[in-house]
A and B are shown apart, each in its own frame.
Chain A
Amino acid sequence: MTERKNYTASELLAVMSARILKDGQIVFAGVGIPLLAATLAQGVHAPGLTILFEGGVIGPFVVPGELPPSTNEQRCTRRANMVLPITDVLLLLQRGYIDVGFMGGAQIDRYGNLNSSYIGDPEKPAIRLPGTGGGNDISSLTQMIVAMKHEKRRFVNKVDFITSPGFIDGGSSRADSGLIAGGMFRVVTDLAILAFDDDTKEMKVLALHPGVDPDEVRDNTGFDITIPDNVGRTDPPQKNELAVLRNLDPERLYTA
């Protein structure tokens, strides 16, 4: 008999992402799941983790129940250690102070390239999306974790447009293009944790979430994805993780 899940897909995403973060890391986080996950990690196992916001904030204190609506308004400066100009906070990525960039994604491909600019031909797009923001800078300059829903239309063979580079065409193409640092580290979805092959740089499944069948991942991925026979299994979200998470987002703005 399978146990009924006592958590939502978004809560699963936040918990699984939080576990990847390590104590002491400096994390550049977007709002939504990335911020929730980073704050959850601080509350559970990584008290020395520091969050940075693109709007120019170092080490904000996220007030439970008052999650900021973006990374550029006064709410995201609450009890921060420092505020600084946008250009300077982004330059910390280039300087090498940031361990992890952590964001959501609209569309990703087998080499971890992200698209948040155009659906369809950029010359005559079916949909013009809002664009990179700092996404391109973050993915160009540090190790990336992406959290997103696992859907076929989001996991495509090749993105329509590379807004934020992953491993470009795979192999050594990222470094060859001139991006000598950083790269995709993990993609966390509501079905699995994904990583990238050391040589080909193709996306592969590292671990499946509780109760997820490998075929479910295949069916929801728009390209052939490697799922090793000995693929790992994640532990279900624990009580304390869910408790911290629900205290942070009691109205379930990001975890519905």
Chain B
Amino acid sequence: MMAEETLVLPHLELRRRTAERDRGLREKVMSLEEAASFVSDGDHVALGGCTMSRTPTAMIWALVRAKKKNLVVSRSIMSSEGEVLYGSGISNHVITSWFSQGIVWGVSKVMRHYTESGEARFDEWSHMSIGLRYRAGAMGIPYMPVRSMIGSGVNERLGDEVKEVICPFTDERLLALPALNPDVALIHVQRADAYGNAQLDGLQFMDIDIAMAANRVILTTEQIVSNDSIRRRPDHTRIPFFTVDAVVEVPYGSAPHECYGVYEPFFDHMDTLAEQTKKDPEAGIKKYLDDFYYGPSSWSGYLDLLGADAIVDASRRGRSIYND
């Protein structure tokens, strides 16, 4: 793939790929399995959300089941979905600023197992640097100057992927971050219409920049709503339809993580995963994949495994944000 050849996609190539996309107002509703075909082996896949929030779990679930290979996956902060990427083998190269299940579970044993053995790569960038790389990609410029990471080991370890630049106006030394235009972005939202106009509630994380930067966007949504209802509140629309290539309705599409105002994280499920991967991380995550990823025949089957009690509990907690 040409995208792997150069760190920053040449501007005209970026525009050429964008021009080739069908950007007309058209319906794009499809199944998870159909949407998975938008991801090719070797692609750079950016994930929306952050840590345990609005993770595109269902789409990752579909990519694992479709046995994708050699994906490079970036995200602001990675949680248990990073363990799924490593454990399933669909990606052995992640780019993020922080990677463990969540602060309360300590350092991820799965992340440690795969990175310390050298089986998988975890490129560490500062949180803002990841965000500014997506933003530069969204802005159509090749790099973004930043005042952080300078002088640190984080900067040093990135080698030629970052460069010191001198400001042409002030002569200050800054760090240039390469623009990141992912091949595909996976973003989960509360609601979208069939065209891909997406409204998201609560924390936005880096999702808007990711959508603007990417060459394809797969949107999963708790609910598909009418275009009329989108048009009644256009100020709530954060991602415009022409950046979106696929729309999939997936209730509880972020479970076991949260979707703002709809459900909170499934903490017991996360506890069990942490416990199960403690002693033998590889066997633990493989069993988890067998049980929850390969086992069920559909997404509803996955939700069955999570259990109605857990879903009701997570939903009650999720909705409580609007009852304060």
Contact = CB atoms under 8 A, between A and B. Distances in A.
A74 B98 contact: no
A70 B102 contact: yes
B154 A117 contact: yes
Of A87, A161, A165, most B-chain CB atoms within 10 Å: A87
B103 A86 contact: no
Interface of A: 31-32, 54-57, 69-70, 72-75, 77-79, 83-87, 90-91, 93-94, 115, 117, 122, 124-137, 140-141, 161-165, 168, 173-174, 177-181
Nearest to B205: A86
B116 A137 contact: no
Contacts, number: 187
A130 B108 contact: yes
27 contacts: A54-B127, A56-B204, A69-B103, A70-B52, A72-B50, A72-B52, A74-B321, A75-B321, A85-B205, A86-B131, A87-B128, A87-B131, A94-B147, A122-B153, A124-B118, A125-B116, A126-B116, A127-B112, A128-B115, A130-B107, A140-B126, A140-B149, A140-B150, A140-B151, A141-B147, A163-B152, A178-B150
Contact of B202 (A83, A128, A136): A83
Interface of B: 50-53, 76-77, 96-100, 102-104, 107-108, 111-112, 115-116, 118, 122, 124-129, 131-132, 134-135, 146-154, 157, 164, 172-175, 202-209, 258, 260-261, 264-265, 318, 321, 324
B283 to A, nearest CB: 19
B271 to A, nearest CB: 12
A87 B209 contact: yes
A74 B116 contact: no
A182 to B, nearest CB: 9
Contact of B97 (A85, A126, A129, A134): A134
B148 A162 contact: no
A81 to B, nearest CB: 14
A54 to B, nearest CB: 7
A87 B153 contact: no
Nearest to B264: A74
Contacts of B318: 74
A72 B154 contact: no
Contacts of A136: 126-127, 148-149, 152, 154
